Each structure stands twice: as C-alpha cells, then as structure tokens.
Amino acid sequence: MVWNDYERPHADLREAIERIERAGELLRIKGADWKLEMGTLAEIVYRQESPPAILYEDIPGYPKGYRAISGTTNSAKRLAIVLGFPPPSHPLDVVRAYRDRMKSHKPIPPRVVNDGPVLENVVKTGIDVLKFPAPLLHEHDGGRYLGTDDLVIMRDPDEGWVNCGTYRSMVQGADRVGLWISPGKHGRQIREKYWRAGKPCPVLISCGHDPLLFLAGGNEIRYGLSEYDYAAGHRGAPYEVIESEVHGLPMPAHAEIVLEGEMHPSETMPEGPFGEFTGYYAGGRGEQPVVRVQRVYHRNDPILGLACPMIPPSDFSYSKCVMKAGMIWDEVERAGLPGVQGVWVHEPGCARMFNVIAIKQAYAGHARQALHLAATCQSGAYLGRFVVVVDDDIDPANLEQVLWAMCTRCDPVEDIDFIRRAWSGPLDPRLPKGRTWNSRGLIDACRPYEMLKDFPPVVKASDELRERVRAKFDKQLRKR
C-alpha cells in the first residue's frame, strides 16, 4: 500500500485493481469456467471471513488476456480506496466519511475527449457479445449475463441529462442482449419517454469500468443528477468520455467493454430467471426489452466486471450497505433531521430491507420523524422492509445491540408504524405476482421521549471502572 492509493483518484479499473492488490485484498483464480464455476467460486469466497476481490484469469475458451473481476468495492478498505477516504478502522468510518464529504460534494460534468483505450477495438460487423466470458452464474439461471456490474447509459430525451444505472443484461443472441429494469427506475422512466414518442431508445452498456462508477450506477442517486457528475464529484476530477459512433452517447474513455445499441418499442424476448440479490428467483422468466447491439467497443485484453447476487453476503452487498447508509444519512439531514448519530444498512436485509438509524432524541416525535424520513428518502425508498430507530447509546451497525433495544425499548402496539403501498418491485419475494408495491414496518426502538428521565438505568460498568479493572487483570486476561 502506498499513501496516495487513498488520495489520488485511480485512472481506471486497472489501476484500482493494482491498488486493491497492494492492499492485500485481491485473489487471483486461474482456469475458472464461465459456466457455473465463477458464480460458485464467488459464493464460496463470500462465505469466508474478510473475502477479497476475485480476478479470474485464464478463462477456458477465451484468449489468455481476457479476464473478469468481482468484488472490487466489497470491503471497508476497498471502498476507502475506491472512494478516496482514509483507511478505516470501524465500518461506520466510511459511512461517516461519506456523509461528511457530501456536505461539500459538487457534481463535476464529464470532459468529452476524442480518443481513449476503449477505442482500441471497435466492432461494427460480425458482432458477437459472447467474445467476452459472460458467466452463467447460478444453476437455474435462464442464460449468461454479460451485464451484472454494468452501467446502462441513456440520455433523457426531454431534459438532456444522462442517467447511468446498473440493470442486469442477459445475452439473447450474438448481437442481442436483454435489459431487466424495475418499474420506477430512472432508466425505465427514460426508456418509456422514447417509446411514448414512438422512437427506439438509444443505450450504452458498459461492462467493465472504474468501480466508483459501479457505486454510482448501483445506488439510488437523485433523479436528474447524472451518475457521471456524482461520481466525478467524489474523485474530484471529471470523467473522460467519448461520444459513441451511432447515438453520440457518452462512454467512459477508460471503460473495458461497451455495447452500443437501441431498444425498440414492443421488441421483447424471454428473460431470466436470474438468481437475485434477495437470495431468490422471484422475478422468474418473462418478456423483457431487447437491445439490438450496433457496436462493440473494447480495450485489448478486456476485464469484464462481475457482480454475483446470492443469499447475502454477496460480492457487492457490503458496499451497498455502506453506500446506502451514507446516502440515507446525508438525505435525512438535508431534509432537516437533527441529531443523527449513525446509520447502518444490514447485509442480512439484502442491503435494503433492514436499516437502522441512531439519533440523540431532542423532542417528542423526533424518533418517528427519523423513521419516516429514512424509509422514504430516495436511497431508502425502493424495496425496503424494516427501518429501526435507536437511541445514541446503541451502535446501529451492531445487530445484537439493535435487537436488544428492540426487545427492551419498543412496545409493538405503540411503537411500530406502517407505510402502505410503498415502492417495491417484482424482485420482492414476498409479493404476489404482478404487484410492485409493499408495506414497511417502522420500529421505534428508542426509549419513549416522555420516559427518558425515568427509564430504568442500563446495567453497565462505567468506562473508568472497566479500564481500571482491565488494567489490573491485564496479564491474566491476555492468557485466554
């Protein structure tokens, strides 16, 4: 590790991988097949303690230099490298650093350039998207997915801004890929605008890029703010983009692989099932829009980005927890909520469905305000389930402490609120087919404000007593 691995922005995915390897967080695996082996290896590695990023090399059936990478953002240290924060010592350090940065974060628009590594190969005829090692990740998946940690880039036809979202993309043929976009997502809203006007929707799909762009693409950035500008605001420098040949859409100049094409109204193919981030195949198989691929741009020896959904933890769930926690913290404060001490989004809740906010209560109603804001702000709204508010003596990242607070400070009848008809989608395994909204349980696990003075005291040695006793018995305690 060198000091500026955390400070100077990395140029591209390749430099990020070098830094991750220097930090001791890269596992190289040679000889894994695209057919089920990469996905199963991700599952094996992500069931271990402190799992590394995985670089797949020597993929059978593919040229020697073709590689795939998974998990680039999925630890506190890797996130700090990718976001440019100091090395963390507690998971909440990155969340706090994110929220602090957002106080002065300024979006930076991309810089258009004429050339870059992504133009090393431009394929116009004889397109075959399977020239890249798109994996079949799980045994019951309906196909090979080229886009898992991808960036789907579209321009709003009315307002001109460019959205970049991570939406799964299944191979449907040599020059066809599917796109599964959930109702309400920005990419879906934009696509519908083109189709309502009777026009095809132009699109780029980047399938290997700076992991910071993946963090932006896979999280709910507010409508109208381009993920390029948002991510550049984090790195403190603009992204270089090249206008694509057919539609003039901006592609990252340093991307590894970019597909360019268009989606025509009513042109669909069967898509899925796909093993999803909730740990189920809830979306099933259904007709989904198809991209007619018109160009393929790629670097020499391209590196395909992978994100492998599974029962959490997965190779991206930790990074989603940290990003979402930081985003919720930032958004509830912007909405005026005082006294926030911390926010944590828990991995067993699939990085969306069990979110905890800690506050220092200042007035009656404060806790409910925190709950409702955390449940409905942009980054907390989609496919949530439970939100818990706790007092400031509880670490929101510590599930045992959170459960203890829920069991001892919350009266279910008085302290659980519901939100009905909230934004969800077909991937919610609990929803009957065809329904895309759900309800939320908001759990107030704070001591009731009016009981704060009289609430039974907590049984806990004072810091001073604990330190004194620890020092006295230090040698004996260390023997264990």
Ligand X SMILES: Cc1cc2nc3c(=O)[nH]c(=O)nc-3n(C[C@H](O)[C@H](O)[C@H](O)COP(=O)(O)O)c2cc1C
Long-range Cβ contacts of 42-46 (<8 Å, 24+ apart): 42/70, 42/71, 42/137, 42/306, 42/308, 42/310, 42/314, 42/315, 43/308, 43/310, 45/71, 45/315, 46/71, 46/308, 46/310, 46/313, 46/314, 46/315
Among 220, 395, 415, 428, which residue interacts with ligand X (rule: CB under 6 A)? Answer: 220
Among 110, 133, 218, 233, which residue interacts with ligand X (rule: CB under 6 A)? Answer: 218
- In angstroms, the CA 171 to CA 179 distance is 9
Among 149, 175, 271, 391, which residue interacts with ligand X (rule: CB under 6 A)? Answer: 149
For 234, residues 6+ apart whose C-beta sits below 8 A from its C-beta are 83, 84, 101, 105, 212
Nearer to ligand X, 316 or 410 (CB): 316
DSSP secondary structure code for residue 468 in this structure: H
Is the four-CA dihedral 62, 168, 12, 249 of positive or negative sign?
positive
Contact flags string 370-389 toward ligand X, x per CB under 6 A: ------------x-------
Nearer to ligand X, 216 or 445 (CB): 216
Q: Quick check: helix, strand or coil at residue 369?
A: helix
331 binds ligand X (CB under 6 A): no
- In angstroms, the CA 124 to CA 295 distance is 5
Question: 205, 150 in Cβ contact below 8 A?
Answer: yes
Among 67, 96, 144, 168, which residue interacts with ligand X (rule: CB under 6 A)? Answer: 168
* One-letter amino acid of 457: P
Nearer to ligand X, 169 or 244 (CB): 169
- In angstroms, the CA 353 to CA 361 distance is 24
Contact flags string 55-94 toward ligand X, x per CB under 6 A: ----------------------------------------
Nearer to ligand X, 185 or 440 (CB): 185
- Least distance (Å) between residue 129 CB and ligand X: 17
- Least distance (Å) between residue 272 CB and ligand X: 10
Among 45, 307, 322, 394, which residue interacts with ligand X (rule: CB under 6 A)? Answer: 307
- Least distance (Å) between residue 452 CB and ligand X: 38
Contact flags string 176-205 toward ligand X, x per CB under 6 A: ----xxx--xxx------------------
* One-letter amino acid of 40: T
Residue 3 corresponds to which tokens in the numbers above?
Answer: 């000091």
Nearer to ligand X, 166 or 206 (CB): 166
165 binds ligand X (CB under 6 A): yes
Q: Report 311-330 residues binding ligand X (CB under 6 A).
A: 316, 320
167 binds ligand X (CB under 6 A): yes
Residue 314 corresponds to which tokens in the numbers above?
Answer: 């997965």
* One-letter amino acid of 119: L
- Which residue ranges make up the site for ligand X (CB under 6 A)? 148-149, 163, 165-168, 180-182, 185-187, 217-221, 307, 316, 320, 382
